[in-house]
Structure 1
Amino acid sequence: MKPTPPKNALKFLRWFCREEYLEEIEGDLVELYEDDYKKSPTRANWKFARNVIKFFRPVFIRSLKKSYHSNHQAIFRHNFLLTYRTFRRYKTSFLVNLIGLSTGMACTLFIYLWVNDELNVDKFYQKDRQLFQVMEHHERSYGIWTSPTTSGLIATTLASEMPEVVYAAATGGPAENISLSAGENYIRANGHYVGKDFFNVFSYHFIHGDKSRMLLDKNAIVISEALAVKLFNTTENLLGQVIEFEREKQFFISGIYKTLPSNASDRFDFALSYELYEEMYPSVLKWGNTGNRVYLILKAGTNTEEFNRKIADYVKVKTNNRITFRKPFIKRYSEKYLYGKYKDGVQAGGRIEYVRLFSIIAIFILVIACINFMNLSTAKASRRIKEVGIKKAVGAGRKSLVFQYLNESLAMAFLSLILAITLVFLLLPQFNEITGKHLLLNFDYSLVVSLLGITLITGLISGSYPALYLSGFKPAPTLKGKINNTIGGLWVREGLVIFQFAISVILILSVLVIYKQIEFIQTKNLGFNRDNIISFKREGKLLESTSLETFLSEVRRQPGVISASSIRHNLAGHTWGVGGFNWEGRDPEDQTEFEVIAVNYDMIETLGIEMLSGRGFAREFGDDWKNLIFNEAAIDLMGLKDPVGKSVDWGFDDRKIIGVAKNFHFESLHENIKPVVIALWQGRTDRLMVRIKAGRELETVKDLQEFYQAFNPGFSFDYKFLDQDYQVQYVAEQRIATLSRYFAGLAILISCLGLSGLTIFDTQRRIKEIGIRKILGLSTFGIVRHLSGDFTKMVLIAIVIALPLSYFVASNWLESFAYRIDLKWWFFAGAGSFALLIAWFTTGIHTVKVARANPAQCLKHE
C-alpha cells in the first residue's frame, strides 16, 4: 500500500523532498510563517507546504521522475519476463498466434499500400482541388451515356466567357505507338496534342525550358525526362535538338519535364501543339466533334453545382438548338479514377468499389487473426488457472492481471509486426507484378503512424477478451483447478469460430464467382472471331492508299495467311459516335449517335462477323463507299423492317443499306451493345488486321515481319494479337481475381491455424475421456467423429449464415457487367462443402493422432 502523506507541513515537505535541501532553509521558512501559524496552524501548515513545494518544484519533479522510472522499469522487466516465460511454456499457441497474426498483418499492410496508392492517384497536382475535367451526358433512346470527351471548342469559349475559369486546355489524340528517332536511336512512344495552357492546368515540373512558351511553335515538341534519356542518353543541352516523328516530320525540343509519378492515371512521353492537331483534323473545330478532352482550373471557392447548371445547355446554345442531347458538366479530375462509372447519367461507383472491398477484406483478415489469439488464449485457460489463483491470493488485483495479459498480446502484436514487415519486404516485388503498380515500403510519417495504430489495435482487440476472461477467475476455485465454464463464455468462443468460417465461406464463394465471370468473359461468343488475328499500325508508306492495297494483296499471298484488311477500331472500346442520320419514320426529336467503324474491303470476312441479311462490301460493286451496313441494335433502334435496300441520309448524302450484321461486342461486357454503322472508308482506317492459320503462328509472323520491313523500311513490325487488346479491357478484373485468390487463401489458412490450435487444446483437455472411451470399445473413427462433432456444428452454422451474405456480395459485383453469369446453386453448395472439408481436414490431423493413442497413456496424462 502507498504511504499516506503526513498532515504536518514540515513532515509533508520532507516526505516529498530530499532532506539535505531542507536543512539549509528550514529555519528561515519557519520564521516566515510563524505569525500565520499562531492564527491558524492548519492553514499555515498547508500554505507553508504549498509554497515550499512550489519553490522546490525542480527537485520535486526529479524525485517523482526517478521514483516513477525506477518503479515502472521494475514493472516492465517483471512483465517482460512473465511474457517471455509464457511464450516459452506454450510454444504451440505462441507459434500459431505468431504465424496467424503476422500473416494477417502482412495482408493488411499489402492492402494498405495498395489502397493508399489508389486513393492518391492524380492527387499530386498543385491545384488538385481546382482542377476539373469537362465531361458530357448524352441522352439516347437506350438511356443516358456519359462520355469523358467533349468538343475542343469548349476550352477556348469557357475560358473567355466564364469568369470562374482561370485556365482551360483541350487535348487531342492520343498519338499512340508513334515512332520517334534521334540519330541512331529509335523507339515507340505515346503522346498527346495539348492546348497552350495545358502546363498551367497541370503542374508539371520542367527540368529545361520556359513553361510559358513551350508549344507556341507548331513544330515544337515537349518530352519527358525518361524519353530524353532513351533517345539521347542524357537530359542536358537538348533544347533545340531535333526529333524525327514517324520518319516524316521533324520537331525541335522546347522543353523537358520530369516524368510523372507512378500514381498518375494519364502518363505520356511527349506533347505536341493542339493547333497542329486542328490543322491535321479540321473537324475538331466543329461543335459536333466530341473526340477531345478538356481540362479547367477554376477559381478557388467556385460552386461546382452552380457552374454545372450554367453550362448544362452550353452546347445547345452554341449550336442554335441543333445539338440538344449533349449536356456538359465538370468533374474533379482526381476523382475520375475512382469514381469513373456512370449509369443513366448518375455516378455509380468505379474503382472505389474495389478499394472498399479490399479495405473490408483487410479488416476481416486482421479480425480473423485476432480471433485466433482470443480463442487460443481462452482455450488454454485451464493450464493457467493456478497461476491466476496464486497471483490473486498474494494480492494481485484484476487491473494488474488485465495489464499483464494485454502486455502479452501487445508483445505478440509487435513481434508479428516485425515478421509482417519482413514478409512484405520479401514479397513486395511479386505483389507489384500482380497489381501492376510500383509500391514502395517507405517509412514515412503516415505509414509509421498507421503501422503503430494497426499494431496497437490488433494487440488490444486480440488481448482484451482473454485478459478480462482470465482475470475474472476467483482465487479459491482456481487454486483447486476448477474453472467456471459459463455458457456465455462458451458461446463467445464458438461465436468467434463461426464468424471466422463465415468470412472464409464468403471469400471462397467470391473467388469462385469472379473466376467463373472471367472465364465467361474469355469464352463468350463476341459475334466475331478474335482468335489468331494480329493487328499493327498503319504508318509510313502504308498511309498511301495505293501502297496499302498493294501491301494487303501481297500479304494475302503469304503462306499461313487466311485474310487481311484494315480498320479504324480495335474492337476493344468506344471509338467515336456520329449523329446526323435521317431515315424513313425517324422521330424528329431523336438525335441518337451511332458508333462508326470505318473498314476496308474484306474486313467483315476477316473478323468473321456474321450477316443477318444482305451482303458485305465487295470490290465488284465499284460504288460501295456510298453504302452502309448496320448492326441489329441499330436497325431495332431505327424501327426499320426489311431494311436492306432502303436509303438513309448521312450528312446530306444519300446512302443505301446493303446489309445487317448480327450484333457483336465492340466494347467490354460491362456495356450493352450499342447501335453501329459500318462504312467502307479506307482513308480513315489506321490499323491492319491479318488472320493467320492455327498452328502456323510463329512461322507466319516471322515471314510477315520480313516482308513488312522490306516493304516499309524504317518502321518496325510491332504487332499485337487481337485477343490481347480484348483482355486489356479486363485487366482490373483479372488483377482483382488474382488478389482475391491470394487473400481468400490466406484468410482460410489463418482460420485453419486457429481451428488447429483449438483442436490441439481440446483434445489435450479431453485426453482421459478419450482413453476411457477407447477402453469401453469406441473405435478410432468413432472417437474422431465424436471429437470433430462440435467443430462440424460450428462450421455448418457459419455456412448457413454466410450463404445469404455471399449471394448479396456476388450479385452486387456482377451488376457491373451488362453480360454476366447466373449464380448457380452449386456455387453455394461447393463453397460450403469446401469450407467443411477444410475444417474436417484441419481437425482430423490432430484427432486421428489422439484417437490412435494407447488408452493407458491417455489415462496417465496429467
Structure 2
Amino acid sequence: MNDHKPIPPKLAERFLLWFIRNDLAEEVLGDLDEKFYQTFEKKSAYRARLNYWYQVISYLRPFAIRKSRSINSNYIFMIRHNFLITFRGFKRYKASFFINMIGLSTGLVCALLIYLWVNDELTVDKFHEKDDRLYQVMQNFESSFGINTIEWTPAPLAKTLMDEMPEVEYAVPVYPPASYTFNSVVAIDNKRLKARAKYAGKDYFNVFSYRLIHGDRDQVLHDKNSVVISDELALNLFRTTENIVGKTITWEQGEFAGDYAISGVFEKIPANSSIQFDMVFNYELYTSKHLELQNWSYNDPCTYIILRDDARAEVLSNKVADLTKTHDPNAEGSLFLRKYSDQHLYGNYENGVNTGGRIAYVILFSVIAIFILLIACINFMNLSTARASRRFKEIGIKKSIGAKRSTLAVQYLGESLIMAFLSLIAALLIVQFLLPQFNQITGKQLALGLDSSLLLSLCCITLVTGLLAGSYPALHLSGFHPIKILKGNASTSSASLWVRKGLVVFQFTASVILIILVLVVSNQMAFIQSKNLGYEKDNVVYFNADSWNSGELETFLNEVSTVRGVINASAMKGNLTVNDHNSTAGITWEGQLAGEEVKFTDLVVDFDFFETMGIEVASGRTFSRNFSTEDSKIIFNEAAVKSMGLIDPVGQSVKLWGRERQIIGVVKDFHFESLYESVKPCFFRLGDKSMNILIKIKAGTAIETIAEIQDLYQKKSQGMALDYQFLDEAFQRLYASEQRVSILSRYFAGIAIIISCLGLFGLAAFTAERRLKEIGVRKVMGAGELSIITLLSNDFTKIVFIAISIALPVAYLLAKNWLEAFAHRIDLEWWFFIGAGALALIIAWLTVSIQTIKAARLNPVICLKDE
C-alpha cells in the first residue's frame, strides 16, 4: 500500500470524473468506504486517510489511463458531468425538486405578471416624439384649505406664452381635460354615431405625436369650421379613410351643432395614451360661444407646451409663476410646469406639493414581486443547505483530489440556474394561461409578446433568480473542509442554522406584512363604498345629452318625469364621479377683506337637481320654476359660506364675473370629488348647455323603467341607442385602481404564504427525518405523540413569532402612509395586526403539523433501524 506514489491533483480529478461519469461511483466507493472504516479502527486517522485515498486512486488509475486519450476537452466534459449530476440529483430527491420547482415557477409567474403591468404603466404617454420637451402648465391657489393644485388654466395663457416666452416653441389650449370628453352624436346622411370630442389649439398635432394619415399637421386645425377625425370613426362613417378630406359631417352638440368639413384623419389613439378621443375641433370654436373665457380669473382649458431644445423647464417654471397676476391684478393663481408624461404616475398634489400617484402602486407591486421571488429563492437556499449532509461524500472526494472551491461553487450555481430556467418554462406556460384573467382584473390589454426587450428582461430576471437562489448553497456547500468530511465530523454549523432560520423569518415577515396590507386596503375600500357622500347615488341613472339644445333637454326631462318608476329627473354639467368641473376666483362679496380670495368650484345644474340627488338644504331654497329670474340666483355649499365668512347668507348678493347674483340657498356639504379630497367651496348656477341627464328611479323597477326611458330617448334622438350608466357603479370605477390593488394584493399575499409554507413543509420534513432516531428513543422511553409533535414544532413556532414581531411595526407604518392619501379614511384597528399574526401562525402550525404528526406516529422500531 505504501508503494503507491501520489499522482497530480488535476489528473486525479479527471480519473474521478470519468469514474463517476461511468456510473460506478456507488459500487466502488461503497466498497472503499468499508475498507476505510476497517483501516480506521486499527491505525491513526492520518495513516487511514492516506491508505484510503491511495486505494481510491489505485483503483481508478487503470480506467482513467484507458479513457484519458478520448477526452478532448475538460470544459465540455465538466459541463456534461455537472448536468448529469444535477439531473440525477433532481431524480433522486424528487420531493425537494418539486418543492423548489413549484416555489420558483410560482414566484416567476408573479414577477412576470407584475413586470407586464409595471412596464405598461411606465410607458403611458411616453410615445410622443417630443416627450422630453412636452409639459403641462399647472396652477396653485392658496386658500383657507391650504394650497389647491389644478390643471385648468386661463384661456388666454397659451397665446400669451407663445407671444412673450421665447423658450416656448408651441403652446396649445385643450378642453376638456384628459379625464373627460364630450360624447356627442356625429351624423352623415342617415348614419348617426356617438363620438368623443376635444377642442384644441391649431398646433395640437405639433405638440402631440398622434400620427396624421391625411392632412397637414400645421393646417388641419386652422379653420374654425373644420374637424379632424380618427381613422376608426372614418371607417364607421365612410367605410374608408381615403378621399374623405373635404367631406362634411354634422355634429349634434347643443350650441355647437352644425356642419363641419373634415380637414384631416389621424391614426387611432394608442392604448397607452391617457387621452382617448375620436374628433378634434378648433379651440376658437369653443371660445366663440364662451366670452367669459377672455377673463384671466376664469380657468377652463388645459395648456400644453413644447419647449425649445435649449430651454430649461425649471427656469421657465419660475419665470411664468406670476404671469396671471401680471395680466390681471385680481388673479391669484401661481403657475408651474409639469412634465406631461408624469401626469399618469405623479398626478397627486397635496398642499401644492406633488405626493406621487399611481407610481405608489408601481413601486408597491414591484416590491411585492421582489419579495415573492426572494421567498421562492429562500426555499431553494434552505432546502439545499438543509440537505447538505447528503452531499458530504461527493464534496469530500472532489476537494481531496484537487477540486477548487470555485469549481464546486460554479457547479452548485449551475444547478440553481438549471432549476430557474426549468421554472421559467413552466412560468411562461402558466402566465399565458392566466393572462386573460389578469387583464380582466387590471383592466388592461397585456400580451406576452416575446420581443427582444421582453426576452432580455426574462433572461435577466431568471438569471438573477438562479444566481440569488444558488448563491448561499454554493458558498455553503463548497466551503466544507475535506478532512472533516472524511473523518465523519462534518456537520452543519450553528452559523448556517441561524442563517436558515433568518431566511424563514424573512419569508414569514413579508407574508404577514402582505396579509395586514390586504386587510387595510380591503377595509378602506369597504369604507369608501359605504361612506355617506351627502347625496344619494343608488338607483340613479345618468347619460350624456350634449347634443340637445335647451328646449329639447327641457322637453325630455318633462316627459321622462312621467315615466312609471321615475322619481325625479334633472341635469348637470359634467358629473359627480369625475373631477372635470371648472374653478374660478371670480366671486366678490360684501365684507371681503383686501387681498382675500377663495377658489370656488363652478357647478352648473338644472331645476330639481338637489331633489333628484337627495342633497339636503341647510337654509333657503333651491332653484324653482316658480320664479322667473332664477338665472341671476346662486346657491353655495356650507364650505363656501364658511370660507367667505358669511353669516345668514340667504338674501345677500355676490358678484360673479362682475354680474350681481342673489344667494337663495345654502346646501349641506357633499362630495363632488373623490374621497382623496376634502369638500371644497362650490357654488351652483342654472345652465342649459352641455348637460348630463340624471334620473332617480324606484328601487326594484330598474329593468322596466330603463326600457321605457330607452324608448323615449330613441324617439328624441332619431333611433340612437341609450348609452347610460348607474351612478353607484361609476362611483366604484372612481376607485378602480384601489379595488384592483386590493384584489391583486389578496392574490399575491396568498401566493407568498403558499410559497413560504412550501419551504416550511420541506424543512419540517427534513428536520423530522434527521431526528428519527431521537424520536424512536423518546417513544421507547415513553414519550407520547403530543410531546413529540410539540418538540418538533417548537423551533418553527419561535421563528414565526419572531417574524410576526418584526412585521407588525413595519406593516403599521406602510398602512398608515397609504391611508394618509385619503381625506376620509378608516382607523388602524388592533385586530388587523393581531389577526394577521394569528393567521400566519395557524398556517405555519398546520404546515408543520403534517410532517410532525407523521413522524410522531412512526413505529419506534422503524425509527431506530440503521439506514
TM-score when scaled to structure 1? 0.89
Q: Does 1:131 align with 2:137?
A: no
Instruction: Identify the residue that residue 76 of structure 2 maps to in structure 1.
Output: 73
Summarize deviations over 1:672-706 as a string: whole Å, max 9, x none: 11012122x14246011111111111111111111
Q: In structure 2, what residue type is equivalent to 1:639?
A: G
Q: Does 1:503 align with 2:510?
A: yes
Instruction: Identify the residue that residue 267 of structure 1 maps to in structure 2.
Output: 276
Q: Does 1:116 align with 2:119?
A: yes
* Conserved 8 A contact 2:389-2:491: no
Tell me, in whole angstroms, the C-alpha distance in 1 between the residues paired with 2:107 and 2:310: 43
Summarize deviations over 1:207-258 as a string: whole Å, max 9, x none: 2222222122323221222222333333233223333322852323222222
Q: Does 1:765 align with 2:774?
A: no
Tell me, in whole angstroms, the C-alpha distance in 2 between the residues paired with 1:624 and 1:299: 49
Instruction: Identify the residue that residue 24 of structure 2 maps to in structure 1.
Output: none
SS in 1 for 2:501: helix
* Conserved 8 A contact 1:598-1:685: no
Instruction: Identify the residue that residue 29 of structure 1 maps to in structure 2.
Output: none
Tell me, in whole angstroms, the C-alpha distance in 1 between the residues paired with 2:171 and 2:435: 40
How much has 1:420 moved relative to structure 2? 1.6
Q: In structure 2, what residue type is equivalent to 1:416?
A: S
Which of 219, 222, 225 is matched with 1:213 structurally? Answer: 219
How much has 1:196 moved relative to structure 2? 1.0
Q: Does 1:436 align with 2:443?
A: yes
* Percent of aligned pairs with the same amino acid: 51
Tell me, in whole angstroms, the C-alpha distance in 2 between the residues paired with 1:518 and 1:68: 67
How much has 1:260 moved relative to structure 2? 2.9
Q: In structure 1, what residue type is equivalent to 2:312?
A: N
Instruction: Identify the residue that residue 783 of structure 1 maps to in structure 2.
Output: 788
How much has 1:122 moved relative to structure 2? 1.3
Tell me, in whole angstroms, the C-alpha distance in 2 between the residues paired with 1:264 and 1:709: 33
Instruction: Identify the residue that residue 548 of structure 1 maps to in structure 2.
Output: 553
Which of 148, 151, 156 is matched with 1:148 structurally? Answer: 151
Q: Map 1:444-523 onto structure 2 (within 5 A).
A: 444-479=451-486, 481-523=488-530
Instruction: Identify the residue that residue 754 of structure 1 maps to in structure 2.
Output: 759
How much has 1:604 moved relative to structure 2? 0.7
Instruction: Identify the residue that residue 330 of structure 2 maps to in structure 1.
Output: 322
SS in 2 for 1:268: coil
Which of 320, 324, 327 is matched with 1:311 structurally? Answer: 320
Summarize deviations over 1:143-162 as a string: whole Å, max 9, x none: 11111121221111211221
How much has 1:106 moved relative to structure 2? 1.7
Instruction: Identify the residue that residue 284 of structure 1 maps to in structure 2.
Output: 293
Q: Map 1:13-24 onto structure 2 (within 5 A).
A: none
SS in 1 for 2:186: strand
Q: In structure 2, what residue type is equivalent to 1:154?
A: L
Q: Map 1:316-355 onto structure 2 (within 5 A).
A: 316-319=325-328, 321-323=329-331, 325-355=332-362
Q: Does 1:804 align with 2:804?
A: no
How much has 1:835 moved relative to structure 2? 0.9
Which of 819, 824, 837 is matched with 2:824 structurally? Answer: 819
TM-score when scaled to structure 2? 0.88
How much has 1:659 moved relative to structure 2? 2.5
| Structure 1 pair 232–767 and aligned structure 2 pair: CA distance change class (3 A) | farther
| Structure 1 pair 403–651 and aligned structure 2 pair: CA distance change class (3 A) | closer
Q: In structure 1, what residue type is equivalent to 2:287?
A: E
Q: In structure 2, what residue type is equivalent to 1:845?
A: I
Tell me, in whole angstroms, the C-alpha distance in 2 between the residues paired with 1:160 and 1:85: 77
Summarize deviations over 1:705-763 as a string: whole Å, max 9, x none: 11222244243322111112222321211122222122222111111111111111111
Tell me, in whole angstroms, the C-alpha distance in 1 between the residues paired with 2:337 and 2:637: 33
How much has 1:579 moved relative to structure 2? 2.5
How much has 1:646 moved relative to structure 2? 3.0
Q: In structure 2, what residue type is equivalent to 1:642?
A: D
Tell me, in whole angstroms, the C-alpha distance in 1 between the residues paired with 2:84 and 2:315: 66
Which of 642, 645, 649 is matched with 2:651 structurally? Answer: 645
- More moved, 261-270 vs 184-193: 184-193
Instruction: Identify the residue that residue 404 of structure 2 maps to in structure 1.
Output: 397
Tell me, in whole angstroms, the C-alpha distance in 1 between the residues paired with 2:107 and 2:605: 54
Summarize deviations over 1:516-552 as a string: whole Å, max 9, x none: 1111111000011100000112244x4233x433332
Q: In structure 2, what residue type is equivalent to 1:77?
A: R
Which of 724, 738, 741 is matched with 2:746 structurally? Answer: 741
* Conserved 8 A contact 1:382-1:481: no
How much has 1:371 moved relative to structure 2? 0.4
Q: Does 1:169 align with 2:177?
A: no
What root-mean-square deviation, in Å, do the aligned CA atoms of Structure 1 and Structure 2 show? 2.2
* Conserved 8 A contact 2:183-2:546: no
Q: Does 1:673 align with 2:710?
A: no
SS in 2 for 1:534: strand
* Conserved 8 A contact 1:599-1:685: no
How much has 1:825 moved relative to structure 2? 0.5
Which of 601, 607, 612 is matched with 1:606 structurally? Answer: 612
* Conserved 8 A contact 1:768-1:861: no
Tell me, in whole angstroms, the C-alpha distance in 2 between the residues paired with 1:511 and 1:328: 39
Instruction: Identify the residue that residue 26 of structure 2 maps to in structure 1.
Output: none
Tell me, in whole angstroms, the C-alpha distance in 2 between the residues paired with 1:791 and 1:216: 74
Which of 838, 856, 862 is matched with 1:851 structurally? Answer: 856
How much has 1:87 moved relative to structure 2? 0.7
Tell me, in whole angstroms, the C-alpha distance in 2 between the residues paired with 1:148 and 1:329: 10
Q: Does 1:91 align with 2:88?
A: no
Q: Does 1:253 align with 2:262?
A: yes
Q: Does 1:372 align with 2:379?
A: yes
Instruction: Identify the residue that residue 846 of structure 2 maps to in structure 1.
Output: 841
Q: Does 1:158 align with 2:166?
A: no
- More moved, 260-269 vs 481-490: 481-490
* Conserved 8 A contact 1:617-1:624: yes
| Structure 1 pair 269–313 and aligned structure 2 pair: CA distance change class (3 A) | same
Tell me, in whole angstroms, the C-alpha distance in 1 between the residues paired with 2:80 and 2:10: 24
Tell me, in whole angstroms, the C-alpha distance in 2 between the residues paired with 1:792 and 1:210: 72
* Conserved 8 A contact 1:373-1:462: yes
SS in 2 for 1:169: strand
How much has 1:270 moved relative to structure 2? 1.6
| Structure 1 pair 584–282 and aligned structure 2 pair: CA distance change class (3 A) | closer
Tell me, in whole angstroms, the C-alpha distance in 1 between the residues paired with 2:294 and 2:661: 25
Q: Does 1:222 align with 2:256?
A: no
| Structure 1 pair 69–430 and aligned structure 2 pair: CA distance change class (3 A) | farther
| Structure 1 pair 209–582 and aligned structure 2 pair: CA distance change class (3 A) | closer
SS in 1 for 2:434: helix
* Conserved 8 A contact 2:184-2:544: no
Tell me, in whole angstroms, the C-alpha distance in 1 between the residues paired with 2:574 and 2:229: 28
Tell me, in whole angstroms, the C-alpha distance in 2 between the residues paired with 1:551 and 1:355: 46
SS in 1 for 2:300: coil
Instruction: Identify the residue that residue 621 of structure 2 maps to in structure 1.
Output: 615
- Structure 1: runs of 5 or more not aligned: 5-65
Tell me, in whole angstroms, the C-alpha distance in 2 between the residues paired with 1:534 and 1:156: 40
Instruction: Identify the residue that residue 181 of structure 1 maps to in structure 2.
Output: 187
- More moved, 303-312 vs 80-89: 303-312
* Conserved 8 A contact 1:386-1:481: no
SS in 1 for 2:836: helix
| Structure 1 pair 861–245 and aligned structure 2 pair: CA distance change class (3 A) | farther
SS in 1 for 2:298: coil
Which of 391, 415, 418 is matched with 2:422 structurally? Answer: 415
| Structure 1 pair 641–281 and aligned structure 2 pair: CA distance change class (3 A) | closer
Instruction: Identify the residue that residue 11 of structure 1 maps to in structure 2.
Output: none
Instruction: Identify the residue that residue 529 of structure 1 maps to in structure 2.
Output: 536
Query: Aligned pair count?
Result: 796
Instruction: Identify the residue that residue 636 of structure 2 maps to in structure 1.
Output: 630
Q: In structure 2, what residue type is equivalent to 1:98?
A: M
How much has 1:486 moved relative to structure 2? 2.2
Tell me, in whole angstroms, the C-alpha distance in 2 between the residues paired with 1:290 and 1:506: 44
* Conserved 8 A contact 1:600-1:685: no
Summarize deviations over 1:311-366 as a string: whole Å, max 9, x none: 111111112x121x111122121122222211221222112121111121111111
